[in-house]
Amino acid sequence: VTASATSGYGYGVNGGYKALNTYYSSGTYYLYDVTKPMSGVIRTTTAKNGTSIPGWYSVDSNNAWTAYSQGADVDAHYNAGKVYDYYYNTHNRNSYDNSGSTLTSTVHYGSNYNNAFWNGSQMVYGDGDGSTFAPLSGALDVVAHELTHAVTERTAGLQYQYQSGALNESMSDVFGYFLDSGDWLMGEDVYTPGVGGDALRSLSNPEAYGQPSHMNDYVNTSSDNGGVHTNSGIPNKAGYLTISSIGKSAAEKIYYRALTVYLTPTSDFSDARAALLQSAADYYGSGSSTYNAVANAWNQVGVY
């Protein structure tokens, strides 16, 4: 039986051309990427707008994934490959578990579903309702955000509630920036397709989207697991200040080291400051300009 790795192409959610690592078997092409140095593969499936996952392989008859409805599949597959490459090339991490395990993305989840999530085993993306969101895999920073939830779960294990949960969220947004560093916004490529210039969140100006950027404005609430998507504005602002001061490359190093070496399931904002300072000291020395910039960033958001 002839089966093989193939190279296809398609158009993403926003119409962009994407080269795709696909697989051919018995007359059908699959979004199934066997080209990475991993024990598993990168594969994309569709829930066909139901809620059973992983659903069915995304398939095509001629390896030209150009149907409008295939945009979500194309971007989930392409963006997952980009995030895999980022973690491997920049941080020497092989997939979310650092053991090269398969990365599965399921698209077309639910109906008018304005959400994306890592379910503990795979990534899942809704199509959005066309007003609040376009299909969510269409944004590289969203895919990086979701995959970073998986990395966090396998490393620091930051509990998804209150300050540790807001940190969990912030780590996903900061790595979303590292992948999509053309702007300080999150989700801008899929958020409100009918409205230009807005986003889900802003790291440089959390207040623009109703988030605090200082401990004085920390929101004490039980909703949203203790406000994890609200209070993440505080560590996000510290992240913006840190990256702006020390540069992306140094920031990537100290953030990855903090996440994988020092943070724990119950770490709070003050622990995050300490973890990043320790990581800066490890790489650049305590008292280095990098170290001092990190301290200053967290001072500015009122975290000591």
Ligand X SMILES: CCC(=O)Oc1c(C)cccc1C(=O)O
Active site residues: 146, 229
Residue number of the CB atom closest to ligand X: 145
Give Cβ neighbours of residue 137 (< 8 Å, ≥ 6 apart). 13, 72, 73, 75, 76, 79, 105, 107, 116, 125, 143
**Closer to Zn ion by Cβ: residue 140 or 293:** 140
The distance of closest approach from Cβ of residue 187 to ligand X in the complex, given in angstroms and rounded to an integer, is: 5
**Sign for the pseudo-dihedral over CA of 15, 17, 22, 26:** positive
**Closer to Ca ion by Cβ: residue 73 or 188:** 188
Does residue 231 contact residue 206 with C-beta atoms inside 8 Å? no
The distance of closest approach from Cβ of residue 259 to ligand X in the complex, given in angstroms and rounded to an integer, is: 16
The distance of closest approach from Cβ of residue 241 to ligand X in the complex, given in angstroms and rounded to an integer, is: 20
For 187-232, list the strands marked E by DSSP.
201-202
Minimal CA–CA distance to 189: which of 10, 16, 8, 9?
16
Positions in 186-245 near ligand X (CB under 6 A): 186-187, 200
**Closer to Zn ion by Cβ: residue 172 or 231:** 172
Check residue 200 for interaction with Ca ion (CB under 5 A).
Answer: no
Specify the 3-state DSSP secondary structure of 96: coil
Give Cβ neighbours of residue 6 (< 8 Å, ≥ 6 apart). 22, 23, 24, 29, 63
Positions in 241-280 near ligand X (CB under 6 A): none
Lookup result for tokens 């053309």: 182
Positions in 116-145 near ligand X (CB under 6 A): 116-117, 142, 145
**Closer to ligand X by Cβ: residue 38 or 200:** 200
Phi, psi of 253 (to 5 degrees): -65, -50
Cα–Cα distance, 26 to 14 (Å, whole number): 31
User: Which one of 51, 111, 115, 181 is in contact with ligand X (CB under 6 A)?
Assistant: 115
Check residue 180 for interaction with Ca ion (CB under 5 A).
Answer: yes
The distance of closest approach from Cβ of residue 181 to Ca ion in the complex, given in angstroms and rounded to an integer, is: 8
State the residues that interact with ligand X by CB under 6 A: 115-117, 142, 145-146, 169, 186-187, 200
The footprint of Ca ion (CB under 5 A) covers 141, 180, 183, 185
